[in-house]
Amino acid sequence: MSRPGVARALVAGTLLGLLPGGPAAAHEAPYDPDSARPAPYVAPERVRREIGADERLVLGEEHAEEHARTRLALRDAADYPDTTRRARLKALTESQAEANAALAPEKYGVFKEYFDSPDFAAHIALLPTGKVLLFSFERIETNPTREPAPTNIIGATNAGRAFLWDPAKGTGADAFTKVTPPVVDMPDGTDSPRPAPFFCSGHSFLPNGMLGVFGGNLGSNGGSGAKLSLVFDPWTETWSRNQDMATGRWYPSVVTAADGRQLIMSGQSELGWGTPTPLVERFPALSYPVPREKRDVPRDAPVGPFKAKAPFTRDYPHLFSLRDGLVYGLGRVHDEQWAFDPVKESRTDLPPRPDGSMRLYGGAVPLPGGYEGPKAALVIGGDRTDPNTYKLSGGRWTIDKPRAFGRTQDNTLLMPDGTLLTAGGGYDIRDYGNGVLNPNADLKYRQFEMRDGQGNWKLGPAQRLPRGYHSNAVVLPDGRVVVTGDELQQLANDADITDGMNGTIEIYEPSYLHQGARPALGTVPAGPVGHDTRFEVTTSTPDRVQRAVLLAPTTATHAVNTSQRHVELRIKRRAGDTLTLQAPPTAAAAPPGYYMLFLLDAKGVPSVAQWIKLDSGVPAVPRR
For the stretch 190-245, pLDDT in tens is 999 999 999 999 999 999 999 999 999 999 998 999 999 999 999 999 999 999 99
Instruction: Tell me which of 69-78, 369-378, 404-413, 599-608 is least confident.
Output: 69-78
Neighbours of 103 (CB within 10 A): 16
Q: Higher pLDDT residue, 29 or 431?
A: 431
The mean pLDDT of 546-552, rounded to a whole number, is 98
Task: Say whether pLDDT at 13 is over 80.
Answer: no
Predicted confidence band of residue 27 (pLDDT cuts 50, 70, 90):
very low
Residue 145 has a pLDDT of 87
Residue 277 has a pLDDT of 97
Task: Say whether pLDDT at 22 is over 60.
Answer: no
Residue 74 has a pLDDT of 55
Task: Say whether pLDDT at 19 is over 50.
Answer: no
For the stretch 262-281, pLDDT in tens is 999 999 999 999 999 999 99
Quote the mean pLDDT of the chain.
Answer: 90
CA distances from 549 to 126, 295, 329, 370, 508 (A): 18, 28, 26, 9, 21
Angle at 447 between CA 443 and CA 449, to 5 degrees: 150
Residue 442 has a pLDDT of 81
Residue 584: half-sphere exposure toward Cβ, Cα within 13 Å: 34
The mean pLDDT of 144-155, rounded to a whole number, is 92
Adjacent-strand bridge partners of 202: 214
Q: Taking the C-alpha atoms of 275, 279, 282 and 287 in order, what is their torsion angle to the nearest 10 degrees?
A: -130
Task: Say whether pLDDT at 50 is over 60.
Answer: yes
The mean pLDDT of 320-342, rounded to a whole number, is 98
Q: Which amino acid is at 518?
A: R
Do 175 and 507 contact (CB within 8 A), yes or no? Answer: no
Q: Which long-range contacts does 369-372 make (Cβ < 8 Å, 24+ apart)?
A: 369/323, 369/567, 370/567, 370/568, 371/567, 371/568, 371/569, 371/570, 371/582, 371/584, 371/585, 371/589, 372/323, 372/584, 372/585, 372/589
Q: Higher pLDDT residue, 294 or 20?
A: 294
Q: How far apart are CA 503 and CA 120, in angstroms?
A: 5
Task: Say whether pLDDT at 624 is over 70.
Answer: no
For the stretch 450-499, pLDDT in tens is 999 999 999 999 999 999 999 999 999 999 999 999 999 999 999 999 89
Residue 430 has a pLDDT of 81
The mean pLDDT of 538-562, rounded to a whole number, is 97
For the stretch 568-585, pLDDT in tens is 999 999 999 999 999 999
Task: Say whether pLDDT at 158 is over 90.
Answer: yes
Residue 23 has a pLDDT of 29
The mean pLDDT of 285-291, rounded to a whole number, is 96
Residue 24 has a pLDDT of 29
Instruction: Tell me which of 4-13, 257-266, 583-592 is least confident.
Output: 4-13
Q: Taking the C-alpha atoms of 13, 155, 193 and 265 in order, what is their torsion angle to the nearest 10 degrees?
A: -120
Task: Say whether pLDDT at 15 is over 60.
Answer: no
Q: How far apart are CA 597 and CA 553, in angstroms?
A: 11
Adjacent-strand bridge partners of 217: 225
Do 189 and 19 contact (CB within 8 A), yes or no? Answer: yes
Task: Say whether pLDDT at 26 is over 50.
Answer: no
Residue 439 has a pLDDT of 79
DSSP assignment string, 406-451: --BS-EEEE-TTS-EEEE--BSSSSBSSS-BT-----GGGGEEEEE
Residue 245 has a pLDDT of 98
DSSP type of residue 327: E
Task: Say whether pLDDT at 250 is over 60.
Answer: yes
The mean pLDDT of 398-424, rounded to a whole number, is 96
Task: Say whether pLDDT at 511 is over 80.
Answer: yes
Task: Say whether pLDDT at 621 is over 70.
Answer: no
The mean pLDDT of 84-108, rounded to a whole number, is 96
